[in-house]
Amino acid sequence: METSNPPGAEDVETSVPEAPEPSGTVIDRSGHPISRRSVPENVLKVLYRLHRSGYRAYLCGGSVRDLLMNRTPKDFDVVTDAHPNEVRRLFRNSRIIGRRFRLVHIIFQDQVVEVATFRREPERAIVAPEDAESEDFLITDDNTFGSPLQDARRRDFTINALFYNIADFSVIDYVGGIEDLRAGRVRVIGDPDLRFREDPVRMMRAIEFASRLGFEIEEATYQGILRHRGDILKASPPRVSEEILELLRRGWSRGAIRLMVDTALLEPLLPEIYNAIRVDRVPYFWKMLEVLDRTVQAGRKVSDAVLLSVLMLPWVIEEIEEEEKRRAATGRMRIAEVILFIRELTQPLCARMALAAGTRHQIEQALETLWRLLEPPTERRAQFRAVYREPFNDALALLELYALSSGRYVDVFRQWQAFAQRVRRAQEEGEQVTKTTRRRRRRR
């Protein structure tokens, strides 16, 4: 049941008498598969202490969704009706973070548990009807406490708005998330037009969740993306780039980029790349993402520079080929020319994506070195120099992905791979020799 006086009631507008809040569907312990055994001990400790101190304590967001699907959550977030200062007082090992919306981090030896206070949708700027297209829908103020229902409703998708209540081990559903989870649907909470305009990154998140969970995007949500895809340019570029990097890093890029092409959400964002890969112009690209997804899911570390270079590769290759055609009279471009060309081509895009200077440099280097590898030097010493250069590993990873998915340059890749292994082995043996001689010397 809702308390008549939700926390932060002083923040809630009082001019309109509030109707009693719907209480949400409660699925008791026997009706769902979430077991406390799959919740880390530290998280349970936090939930129990809040509960015993008289507060509500719920697990929320991705953790409830993933536990219901028998997946391992990335992190376990807690929500409560205790205010940040009250949470802070309950846990000595905690600190308040954030300026706009204050959260509490409870710090354990090997884990940080994040505790938030129920929040409601922030006030929206009053918008005159003729201004309905203006940007004033973007959320600017994010700091108002609310009730559990309000907290569920301000979340992005129904499947992300479920609560697990430590008081009785039930799941609370205010938004129809359980049904959507069962049906495998990503559905925006509330009016898609409004929710996508408030925060255009939600369009990317819808696509990301559909791809990673193998869900479909519910029709109104999908149509909303088609209508508002242009608004993605209003989102902050670093946040958008981080979303793109995340889906590459976590191994669900193929489905997600496919959906970003199908909905054309990618077009306003990265038109160069969109044009290069749309309507199956380069079949190897999708294969390459498939291989990449498998690689990172298997736990192999792939640098951000390689991930982003993969995305740029079909475009860069096409542009170089075009340029070579233009220069047909003078023959193929020399490597120095290719390098300059790549630099001038990719830098504006990297700047637009607001990538860190280091990442931009590494992308440039990875792509340049890839082109160097495609034409292996015949001279042995030059080969050694290539292997010892910093970006060699990135370029080799890129070449591997490209060769295995396009069927081109497979021999060149194998040659470099074998060569790099020989060099590495020789290096290790060299280190071994130095270590033993040092030891011998010390003994004497």
Among 160, 211, 309, 405, binds ligand ATP (CB under 6 A): 160
Paired tokens of 314: 């079909």
Among 24, 40, 62, 376, binds Mg ion (CB under 5 A): 62
Whether 293 is catalytic: no
* Nearer of residues 7 and 200 to ligand ATP, judged by Cβ: 200
Q: CB 140: neighbour CB atoms within 10 A?
A: 13
Q: Looking at 30-38, 54-62, 203-211, 303-311, which segment touches Mg ion (CB under 5 A)? A: 54-62
Q: Pick from 199, 216, 319, 323 the residue near ligand ATP by CB under 6 A.
A: 199
Binding residue for ligand ATP (CB under 6 A) from 7, 61, 200, 255?
A: 61
CB under 5 to 8 A by kind: which of ligand ATP, Mg ion, none does 155 bind?
ligand ATP
- Structure tokens given for 242: 């981080």
**CA atoms of 400 and 412, how far apart (whole Å):** 10
> Would you say 208 or 364 has its CB closer to Mg ion?
208
Q: Which does 216 bind (CB under 5 to 8 A by kind): ligand ATP, Mg ion, none?
A: none
Query: Per CB under 5 A, which region of 67-75, 115-123, 157-165, 275-283 contacts Mg ion?
Result: 67-75
Q: Which two tokens stand for residue 381?
A: 């010493």
Instruction: Tell me how far apart the alpha carbons of residues 26 and 170 are, in angstroms, rounded to a whole number.
Output: 6
With residue 178 as reference, give the H or E element that holds it: helix 177-183
Looking at residues 120 to 159 of the shown chain, list those that interact with ligand ATP (rule: CB under 6 A). Answer: 155-156
62 to 91: interface string for ligand ATP, x by CB under 6 A: x-----------xx-x--------------
Closer Cβ to Mg ion, 75 or 246, answer by number? 75
* Nearest CB to Mg ion, comparing residues 63 and 309: 63
Catalytic: 77? yes
Which residue in 66, 151, 156, 293 is the catalytic one?
156
Q: List Cα–Cα distances, 263 to 72, 245, 259, 274, 292, in angstroms.
A: 29, 19, 6, 11, 22
- 349 interacts with ligand ATP by CB under 6 A: no
Tell me the closest approach of the beta carbon of residue 335 to ligand ATP, in angstroms: 41
Backbone angles phi, psi at 146, to 5 degrees: -150, -165
Partners of 95 in the beta sheet?
105
Closest to Mg ion by CB, 61 or 84 = 61
Q: Which stretch binds Mg ion (CB under 5 A): 43-51, 72-80, 286-294, 434-442?
A: 72-80
Q: Are strands 77-80 and 111-117 parallel, antiparallel or unpaired?
A: parallel
**Interacting partner of 270 out of ligand ATP, Mg ion, none (Cβ under 5 to 8 A depending on kind):** none
Taking alpha carbons only, the member of 11, 3, 157, 146 closest to residue 79 is: 146
In whole angstroms, the minimum distance from the beta carbon of 255 to Mg ion comes to 19
The question of whether 28 is a catalytic residue gets the answer: no
Gap between the Cα atoms of 316 and 367, Å rounded: 9
DSSP 57: E
Sign of CA dihedral 345, 351, 355, 359: positive
* Closest of 150, 217, 211, 215 to residue 188, by C-alpha: 217
Size of the site for ligand ATP (CB under 6 A): 12
Q: What does the buried/exposed string (b/e) look like for 345-380 if buried means 16 or more CB atoms within 10 Å of the residue's CB?
A: bbeebbeebebeeebbebbbbbbbbbbbbbeeeeee
What distance in Å separates the CA atoms of residue 42 and residue 44, rounded to the nearest whole number? 5
Burial environment of residue 277 by CB neighbours within 10 A (0 to 12, 13 to 18, 19 or more): buried
* Residue 374 interface partner, choices Mg ion, ligand ATP, none, CB cut-off 5-8 Å depending on type: none
**What is the set of active-site residues?**
75, 77, 156
Binding site for Mg ion (CB under 5 A): 62, 75
Binding site for ligand ATP (CB under 6 A): 61-62, 74-75, 77, 155-156, 160-161, 199, 201-202
